[in-house]
Amino acid sequence: MPRPGQSRTTPEERLPERMALGLLFRTFPPELVDRVVAECGRAERRSRLLPARTVVYFVLAICLFEQRSYEQVAQLLTEGLAWARQERTLCTVPTTAAISRARARLGPEPLAALFTELARQSRPAGARTRCARFRQWAVLAIDGTTVDVPDTPENRARYGPSPSRPVPAPTGDSASDTAPRPGPASRSASASGSGFPQVHVVALAECGSHRITGAVLGRLPSGGPPAPLARALFTTLTHGDLLLADCGPADLELLHVARAAGAEVLWRIGLGTGLPVHVGLPDGSYLSDAPCGATGARTAVRVIEEPPYRLVTSLLDPEAAPAGLLAALYDRRWDIRTSLRDLGALSPEGPQVLRSRWPGGVEQEVWGHLLVHHTIRSLLGSA
């Protein structure tokens, strides 16, 4: 019987689901999945009912069919693999316990590596061909979201409780991913501070295409911004990128990381951030300098006072990038909110807590949702 919030399909309704699975098989061909699995050291040494390749497809499928139970997804995947002739070894529907053990063997690393490979393949020769542009720069945005995960000792130890309230006592078997998933009411309670552990996801997205091209995940530091997570994403920037973001005074110290990668920045900062006026410019902006890392050095920036924004940018020439145009361009930063809303269970308005009751499974799910999102966005871009 389907769990609350889950639905049962008839055979006639399964054709669209098989087509959706076919899209996954086409985007992630078996040879690509096998290569990534082998590179991560997860290739099997003996024949199994659930080889690593099939488990990768299963994780993608539970993210694609969020309202289906493990058993339903396993049935769909078994039929879909046979229908698409992609897999001959899976001839019977595995049990839920077997699936949980297979997911634990796989770990999150192959899914993360698959996302990295997909993002690399979508940028031939380093070009962002479907990205919105400002003059010669490709426009990207960075932002983060927190996602509730089941309250188990393992998840709480890795991600901590929601910062607003202490967590309730855990219930159920922490080793199982098969317990009922909290539904919309539980999600709403968590959003108001119920104390679910939360995994923090920081994403880098192309404005215009809404395609997420980089992501990192971990625990949200208490009392400050997730600078270490953002720093890891900055290293994926390249020459010709223009990064839009909100930032605090401490985040300005990451500016040199983006600049070292060859990217330009356009960031909104707080009105109370102290940036001295060095040279006033004809368009109303002025040249200043900002702290650059822990060495005490400073880097040249340009400040644009354009209510309701106060912007800091590495584009110092007002003729090449007039203040009014940059202020209007900053509105594109909200494109990433569209990207995050499209992430299903990872969306800030997502209807459910993730399924997985252990950190490796949580990270598998997060990467699975990012891979499904990338697949759908790439399909829409091609269309």
Residue tagged 């049962």 (tokens): 8
Amino acid at 372: V
Sorting pLDDT into bands at 50, 70 and 90, what band is 170?
very low
* Paired strand residues for 313: 266, 302
Length of the chain: 383
Q: Does pLDDT of 179 surpass 70?
A: no
Rounded to an integer, the average pLDDT of 3-27 is 65
- Sign of the C-alpha dihedral computed for residues 271, 274, 277 and 281 taken in this order: negative
**Contact (Cβ atoms closer than 8 angstroms) between residue 252 and residue 269:** yes
Task: Look up the pTM and report it.
Answer: 0.80
Range name among 58-62, 204-208, 255-259, 336-340 with the lowest pLDDT average:
336-340
Sorting pLDDT into bands at 50, 70 and 90, what band is 304?
very high
Residue tagged 């909100």 (tokens): 246
Q: Which helix (H) or strand (E) holds 22?
A: helix 14-27
Share of the chain above pLDDT 90, in %: 25
pLDDT at 376: 80
**3-class secondary-structure state, position 157:** helix
> Of the candidates 86, 43, 36, 40, which has an alpha carbon nearest to the alpha carbon of residue 61?
86
Rounded to an integer, the average pLDDT of 130-153 is 88
Would you give the end-to-end CA distance of the chain in angstroms? 38
The span from the CA of 263 to the CA of 234, in Å, is 9
- The highest-confidence range among 49-58, 67-76, 156-165, 182-191, by mean pLDDT, is 49-58
Rounded to an integer, the average pLDDT of 212-217 is 89
Between 264 and 144, whose confidence is greater? 264
Q: Does pLDDT of 223 surpass 60?
A: no
Rounded to an integer, the average pLDDT of 226-243 is 80
Q: What is the pLDDT of residues 350-379, one digit of tens each?
A: 556 788 889 999 999 999 999 988 888 777
Sorting pLDDT into bands at 50, 70 and 90, what band is 26?
confident
pLDDT at 183: 36
Residue tagged 């990467």 (tokens): 367
Rounded to an integer, the average pLDDT of 151-172 is 66
The span from the CA of 329 to the CA of 169, in Å, is 47
pLDDT at 3: 47
Q: Does pLDDT of 195 surpass 80?
A: no
How many CA atoms are closer than 13 Å to the CA of 160, on its beta-carbon side?
11
Please state, rounded to an integer, the average pLDDT across all residues of the chain.
77
> Of the candidates 243, 236, 167, 204, which has an alpha carbon nearest to the alpha carbon of residue 340?
204
Q: Does pLDDT of 38 surpass 90?
A: yes
Sorting pLDDT into bands at 50, 70 and 90, what band is 109?
very high
Rounded to an integer, the average pLDDT of 207-216 is 87
Rounded to an integer, the average pLDDT of 177-195 is 40
* Paired strand residues for 241: 138
Per residue in 268-279, is it b (16+ CB within 10 Å) or e — as a string? bbeeeeebeeee
**Contact (Cβ atoms closer than 8 angstroms) between residue 24 and residue 86:** no
Dump strand ranges (E) for 131-285: 133-134, 137-148, 198-206, 212-218, 241-246, 264-268, 279-280
pLDDT at 261: 87
pLDDT at 8: 53
pLDDT at 340: 79
* φ and ψ at residue 276, rounded to 5 degrees: -70, 150
The span from the CA of 183 to the CA of 177, in Å, is 15
pLDDT at 222: 60
* Paired strand residues for 205: 141, 212
The span from the CA of 23 to the CA of 4, in Å, is 28
Between 121 and 42, whose confidence is greater? 42
Sorting pLDDT into bands at 50, 70 and 90, what band is 290?
confident
Angstrom CA distances, 250 to 59, 154, 198, 240, stand at 37, 31, 23, 25
Those residues whose C-beta lies under 8 Å from the C-beta of residue 283, and which sit 6 or more positions away, are 318, 322, 323, 324
Rounded to an integer, the average pLDDT of 179-196 is 42
Those residues whose C-beta lies under 8 Å from the C-beta of residue 152, and which sit 6 or more positions away, are 170, 172, 174, 197, 357, 358
Between 112 and 75, whose confidence is greater? 112
Indicate the DSSP class of residue 45: S
